[in-house]
Amino acid sequence: MGRKYFGTDGIRGQVGKGNITPDFVLRLGWAVGRILGGGKRDSKVLIGKDTRISGYMFESALEAGLVAAGVSTRLLGPMPTPGIAYLTRTLHAQGGIVISASHNPHQDNGIKFFSSDGDKLPDDVELAIEAELDKPMTTVGSVDLGKADRVADAAGRYIEFCKSTIPASMSFAGMRIVVDCANGATYHIAPSVLEELGATVYPIGVSPDGININHEVGSTCPKTLQQEVLDRGADLGIALDGDGDRLIMVDGNGELVDGDRILYILAMSRLAAGQMRGNVVGTLMTNLGLEHALGAHDIGLSRTAVGDRYIMEKLKAEDWILGGEPSGHIICRDRTTTGDGMVSALQVLAEVYKSGKSLAELHADMRLYPQELINIRLDRAASEVMEHPSMRDAVSQAETELNGGGRVLLRPSGTEPLIRVMVEGREGRQVSLLAEQLADVVRGLV
C-alpha cells in the first residue's frame, strides 16, 4: 500500500511547508498517541530533538497532540537519534519520537519514530498512523489527559550506554582525538564520552545556535575536521552528523575514512575475535572495493536499497550483525538496535587499542574504487527522468564503456528532490567523465 505522509525514514521537509507545519505535527502527535498509546492510561512516549531552532515549535505541537490523545510524554531535550532509541527501550516507553532532519540544513526538519524495542516502526504501524491522521482530531476527557515531564538525566544515561559497548578495561589515555559534533545533538555528549574514557579531546562543532547545525561542519562537510586533525597533530578525527546517527572518520594523515572503510575495520575486528556472523550488509552505493576486500577474507557482502531501514531489515532477517552505508550509517547489531555514530566510533577506537595499529593502518588493506556521485535537483517526478528513453540509452552506453569493470546507478533521493548519479570503476578519469555525461543528460531533462 502506498504511503501518504511517511517517507523512507519518517516525515521530512522544509519548515512551514507541506507537512512540516505546527498544525500537521499537532495532529501527527495525536495520531501517534492513538496508535502507540492504544488507549492505555499509563502509556508514555518520549520526545527528543536535535538543535535546530524549529525543534522547540514541533516539540510543543507533538506534546499537545499526544496529551490530547491521553498519552503522557517524557521530554528528552537535545539528544542523538540513537540515544532516543536506547532510552525508549530502557524507559519502557510505548514509542520514541525524534524531531530532526539529520544531515539536512536548519531550514528542514522532520519527525522520526521508534517502537518500544528501539527499532524503526514497522510498515503496518506507519500505515495505521496515516489512517488515523485522516480522521477528525478529538480530545479525551480531562481526567484521561496525558501528562508531560522532562527526563533530567537523559544525556548521562546515554553516555553510560555508549561506554558500555566496549570492555570496561579499555582506556584511550594517550589518544589525541578531534571530534566534530556538527553543532548538533551530540554536542554535549560525544566529547564527554571520549574524555571519560581517557582520551585527549579537541571538540569542534559544539556551539549550536539553532541555525548552524551541519553548516560547514560534521560528517557531510569533513574538510574542517581534516584540517583540525593535521593542525593538532591528532591521532584521528571523528565526525558525526546533526542527529548523531552517521559517522565519518579521519586518520592521522588527514585522509577520510568513510562508512565502507569503517565497515571493513569492524568486520576484520569481529573476525579476529571470532565474533563475525554472516555477511556484511551494504547498499547499492557500497563501493566495490569493500566487496572485494571482504571477499579476500571469505566474508560476503549483501546489498539492499539505499536506507538504513533496509539494511536493518536484512540484518534481522538473516540474524547478521554488521551493515552500513558509505555516508556513515553504521549498524553494529551486536551492540545496539539502530545506526549509532558514537557507538560505531567506539568500536573502531577499541580496535585501535587492541591492535596497537593506527587508524590508517587498519584500513590500508582496502582499496576503494574511484566513485563519482553527482546530485541534480529536480522540478519534476524522478520517474519521468529515469524512465526517459534518452536516459536509458545514456546509462546503457556508460555501462558498455565500463565493460564489466564498474557500475552505474541512478536513484532518487529519499529525503530531498534530487536524482543521484553514481558511476564507479577502476579508472578515475573514465569514471568522472561518464558521471558528468550522465549528469548532463539528467540536467537536460529537468
What is the mean pLDDT of the segment spanning 78-99? 98
The residues annotated with a catalytic role in the active site are 102
Q: Look at 2 and 334; give whichever has higher pLDDT.
A: 334
Residue 383: what pLDDT? 81
Query: Residues 10-31: pLDDT tens digits?
Result: 999 999 999 999 999 999 999 9
State the cell numbers at 319.
540474524
Instruction: Enumerate the domain spans of the chain.
Output: 11-151, 172-254, 258-368, 371-445
Q: Quick one: pLDDT at residue 257? A: 98
pLDDT of residue 446 exceeding 60:
yes
Lowest mean pLDDT among 126-140, 257-271, 288-302, 371-385: 371-385
Place of cell 556472523: 277
CATH fold of 11-151 reads Alpha-D-Glucose-1,6-Bisphosphate; Chain A, domain 3 (3.40.120)
Average pLDDT in the 276-286 region? 96
41-45, 112-116, 314-318: least confidently modelled range: 41-45
* Domain 258-368 class, CATH top level: alpha beta
Pick the CATH number of 371-445 from 3.40.980.10, 3.30.310.50, 3.90.1150.10, 1.10.3720.10: 3.30.310.50
pLDDT in tens, 221-253: 999 999 999 999 999 999 999 999 999 999 999
- Architecture field, domain 172-254: 3-Layer(aba) Sandwich (3.40)
133 — pLDDT class (breaks 50, 70, 90): very high
Q: Please state, rounded to an integer, the average pLDDT across all residues of the chain.
A: 95
pLDDT at 2: 66
pLDDT more than 70, % of the chain: 99
Same fold, 172-254 and 371-445: no
Q: What is the pLDDT, as a whole number, of residue 314?
A: 97
Above 60 in pLDDT, residue 1?
no
pLDDT over 90 (residue 176): yes
Summarize the confidence of residues 300-309 as an average pLDDT. 92
- Indicate the pTM of the whole model: 0.90
Where b means 16+ CB within 10 Å and e means fewer, 40-61 reads: eeebbbbbbbbbbebbebbbbb
User: Which pLDDT score, from 0 to 100, does residue 363 have?
Assistant: 96
